[in-house]
Chain A
Amino acid sequence: MEDPLPQVLIPLLKGVIYAEADPPRWQKLLDLQARIREVAALMGLELIIDEAEGHAFLRQREFAAEETPLPRLVPRRPLSFLVSLLLALLRRRLLEFDQSGGDTRLVLHRDDIAEMVRVFLPESSNEAKLLDRLDRDLKRIEELGFLRRLKGQEHLFEVQRILKSFVDAQWLGEFNERLAAYRKHLEEDGGA
């Protein structure tokens, strides 16, 4: 019989697998997870399965100090400060959304998001410039796979639940540390 492993492994190498999008493939993934982990480990990757949220993806494995690290297969995407902040704020919305009830799809309007970041921007910035920049940042986040524009509705975005796996406590902790250091630096400069 044909080995079903490639049917799961190759799509995983190309992107996130969602349970909802393809239930048979998802089932195969669950059945084969031990083998996938093995193969992934050979490439310095780690399989992450979130059964409750229904998604799975490959992540770059952390290497211990005594190990020889393998070349990275998962690229790191650089983020501007505002994109980083937006991701954090979207993460908060997702958390609050989960706290408030049983719906699973968080859909936000661009103006909602603008309202959310406004307080973190210099007061002088004018409205049009702000929205322009926001549109660019939203596009970037869309490319990263954490927002999805609703079909035919330019200004509505669904927050992809996979954001939870990437913007986690560890990521936010690092963001916080860096931001605190930057703030301290400004204050020592006498600038803030």
Chain B
Amino acid sequence: MSPDFSRFPDYHDLVLLRQQHPAWRLLAAAHAPLVLTLLHAVFIAPNRRALPRQQLIAILDDLLFDLRQQEGGDAFPKPAAAYLDDWAGDDKGWLRKYYPEDSDEPHYDLTPAAVQALEWVTGLQRREFVGTESRLLLVFELLRQMAEGSETDPEARIAELERRRGEIDAEIARIRGGELELMDPTRLRDRFLQMQDTARRLLADFRAVEQNFRDLDRRVRERIATWEGGKGELLAEVFGHTDAIADSDEGRSFRAFWDFLMDPRRQEELTGLLEKILALEPVRQLRPDPRLRRIHYDWLEAGEATQRTVARLSQQLRRWLDDQTWLENRRIMALLRDIEQHAIAVRDRLPPGDFMTVDATAPAIELVMERPLFQPSARIRIEDRVVVEGEAKTLDEALFKQRFVDREALADHIRHLLRSQPQVSLARVVAARPLAEGLAELLTYLELAEADPRAVVDDARSETIEWTGSDGVVRRARVPLILYCR
């Protein structure tokens, strides 16, 4: 339902608008100040197009917290998430909730209606200075462009261009004669405000443009979905719609805007002009928003989002209009209606067991070696102990871990010797069974002695232990006398 700008709505239209138009409903809502505060802070002030749900909830939570402190605890009873759901609902329509391609979190953007409400409220504050001259000049300029652009007589066009050249020549002559006319501060400020206003509005317009594309797209789809006539008529009907989006007034105007903005020379020119103007003293007195300096980049960004939407919608629409798809969809709808009827008829005695099959989305090739082999599960010992700085004692343990020494076998060997004698020295133990693992094994014997309260370690005396390493070299170690006892 696009508004008719040529006339003011009558009484009944107004009643309907107040009931249905999201912008009006927003202004009339009890929570309007809350909604407007949030929407402005989140979307308008930073010029943001989309915000993920969690982030928006966090911002609203903070805002609600502050407001409850000021207004009393029961001022805003609902949690932030509930407010968001409410405002994005079909009956409110102040936020657009959608899933971007690359995220599983819903994102939110303002709806054009919410922008309208925000703009209206912004306009309520009396502006310090309303420039009228620049507006008048703009009207003249627009009229001139239209008259010129629609002039079919080449002579008339040339005459107009010559007239303007005459004016320019006259101005050059004046400046050469030392007569440099400067724009006074008032006129500068007037034009600046006009420019700022238009530039900002342009940014807000992108949302509306995008929304209009979406509406247009939906209307075309609805028309096709509810088409009852024959196929030939359908093709004739949709033929006019194939490029409905790109060929609409909005589509063409947007396209022209986009081409203009994408021209690198234009971009440079804009950057240069903005720099220069923002440096002027009368303009600086107005304390303009510093972000205005890069507004054309914001346009580019917003324009690109719109551009993507248009491209996507056009592509999908074309596909939707595709002959085969259309027929298949009609057949599917008919089949689904039948299936639903049958399913309801049998719902008290549902078919047991498997009913249908569906192919897997890929071939299944069993790779024998991809199956995991048996592996004993590793036992992990977790000790709840503070690790202190290394002591010499741990050294032997570390060395011992370098090689595998069967500690139990060594203990068995000692026990075996102790069966025939009450005590046995380490030298005897080693003599009975030579060290196969060298130092590691020797250290294990020392460790066993240390762990065994019955073993005696006599530091005053010593023994020499001898073994042959795996390299064939004989090694000797002097150790304290160690006696294993029964």
Contacts and interface: CB of A to CB of B under 8 A. Distances in A.
Interface string B312-339: 1101110110100000110111011011
B342 A179 contact: yes
B352 to A, nearest CB: 8
Contacts of A176: 335, 338-339, 342
Contact of B356 (A79, A100, A121, A186): A79
Contacts of A101: 214, 217-218, 221
A104 B359 CA distance: 24
A75 B360 CA distance: 6
Given A102-B309, A102-B313, A144-B358, A180 B342 contact: yes
B355 to A, nearest CB: 4
A87 B358 contact: yes
A104 B316 contact: yes
A8 interface: no
B358 A171 contact: yes
Interface in A1-47: 12-16, 20, 43, 45
Interface string A149-190: 011110010100010001111011111101110110010000
Given A14-B362, A168-B332, A178-B355, 9 more contacts: A15-B362, A59-B359, A81-B356, A102-B317, A121-B347, A123-B348, A151-B104, A191-B349, A192-B348
A74 B364 CA distance: 6
B53 to A, nearest CB: 10
Nearest to B339: A176
Given A73-B364, A180-B338, A192-B346, A79 B359 contact: no
A19 B190 CA distance: 52
Q: How large is the interface on B (under 10, 10 to 19, 20 to 34, 35 or more residues)?
A: 35 or more
Interface string A55-81: 001111000000000000111111111
A92 interface: yes
A167 B358 contact: yes
Contacts of B322: 52
Interface in B335-371: 335-336, 338-340, 342-365
Contacts of B348: 122-123, 192
B335 A173 contact: yes
Contacts of A80: 353-355
Contact of A88 (B104, B328, B336, B349): B336
Contacts of A166: 358-359, 361
Nearest to A43: B363
A24 B376 CA distance: 42
A151 B316 CA distance: 27
8 contacts: A12-B362, A59-B359, A79-B358, A81-B356, A102-B309, A104-B312, A169-B335, A192-B346
Given A75-B360, A145-B361, A152-B104, A100 B218 contact: yes
Contacts of A158: 99, 104
Nearest to A51: B319
Contacts of B331: 169, 173
Interface of A: 12-16, 20, 43, 45, 52, 57-60, 73-82, 84-85, 87-88, 91-92, 95, 98-105, 107, 119-123, 144-145, 150-153, 156, 158, 162, 166-169, 171-176, 178-180, 182-183, 186, 191-192
Closest 4 CB pairs of A and B: A78-B354, A73-B363, A150-B104, A81-B355
Contacts of B312: 102, 104
Contacts of B263: none
B120 interface: no
Given A88-B336, A192-B348, A192-B349, A175 B214 contact: no
Nearest to A73: B363
A104 B102 CA distance: 12
A179 B104 contact: no
Contacts of B346: 179, 182-183, 186, 192
Contacts of B359: 59-60, 74-77, 166
> Most chain-B Cβ atoms within 10 A of its Cβ — which of A80, A87, A151?
A80
Interface in B171-226: 214, 217-218, 221-222, 225
B52 to A, nearest CB: 12
A156 B335 CA distance: 27
B222 to A, nearest CB: 7
Contacts of B363: 13, 43, 45, 58, 73-75
Contacts of B332: 91-92, 95, 168-169, 172
Given A171-B358, A174-B356, A119 B335 contact: no
A99 B336 contact: no
Contacts of A183: 342, 345-346
Interface in B46-105: 98-99, 101, 104-105
Contacts of B98: 103
Contacts of B335: 169, 172-173, 175-176
A148 B102 CA distance: 14
Contacts of A151: 104
A74 B362 contact: yes
A120 B354 contact: no
Contacts of B336: 88, 91-92, 172
A76 B358 contact: yes
Interface in B351-399: 351-365
A46 B112 CA distance: 47
Contacts of A156: 104
Contacts of B319: 52
Contacts of A99: 221-222, 225, 320
B364 A168 contact: no
Interface in B109-163: none
Given A101-B217, A102-B312, A120-B347, A57 B328 contact: no
Contacts of B329: 95
Given A122-B348, A179-B343, A180-B338, A77 B358 contact: yes
A186 B349 contact: yes
B320 to A, nearest CB: 7
> Most chain-B Cβ atoms within 10 A of its Cβ — which of A14, A123, A179, A182?
A179
A77 to B, nearest CB: 5
Contacts of B360: 74-77, 144
